[in-house]
């Protein structure tokens, strides 16, 4: 299969590779939201959702940009904006390291003084 000029030839596994992390992020997010709606403690799930969803958004957006080749990097293309927005989401929602630290504290039962 040949791709249009300026686009990379898609590998068949590319769409499938993004589907699993996307579904995982969605399910964790829905669980965290359900817990919040039902007044259950959800800091672990909320941190997991933030970390997974932000990283997944960046990964999928960058794969799409890569798939589109030089066309994906054009500032007049919406895809380039989505890639930038995804990276901002990753930063704005708390860096990956902070979210992973919160997750580790929750899983290990440690306080912020015990695990920095």
What is the tens place of the pLDDT at every residue in 71-109? 777 777 788 888 888 888 777 766 788 888 999 999 999
Instruction: List domains and CATH numbers for the chain.
Output: 15-108 (1.20.140.10)
Give residue 12's pLDDT: 57
SS3 assignment, position 76:
coil
Give residue 90's pLDDT: 74
- CA–CA gap between residue 52 and residue 31 (Å, rounded): 13
Catalytic residue list contains 66: no
Query: Which whole-number Å values give the CA distances from 24 to 5, 7, 33, 64, 78, in the listed order?
Result: 34, 29, 14, 19, 25
CA-based torsion, 96, 98, 99, 101: positive or negative: positive
Exactly one of 75, 77, 80, 93 is catalytic; name it. 93
Q: What is the pLDDT of residues 50-76, one digit of tens each?
A: 999 888 999 998 888 888 887 777 777
The larger pLDDT score, comparing residue 65 to residue 28, is at 28
């Amino acid at each position: 299969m040949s791709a249009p000029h300026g686009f990379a030839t898609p590998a068949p596994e590319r769409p499938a590779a993004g589907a699993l992390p996307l579904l995982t992020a969605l399910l964790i997010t829905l669980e965290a939201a359900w817990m919040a709606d039902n007044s259950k403690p959800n800091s672990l799930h909320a941190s997991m959702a933030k970390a997974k969803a932000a990283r997944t958004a960046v990964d999928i957006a960058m794969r799409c940009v890569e798939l589109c080749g030089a066309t994906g990097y054009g500032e007049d293309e919406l895809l380039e904006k989505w890639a930038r927005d995804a990276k901002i989401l990753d930063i704005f929602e708390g860096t990956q390291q902070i979210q992973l630290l919160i997750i580790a504290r929750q899983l290990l039962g440690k306080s912020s003084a015990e695990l920095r």
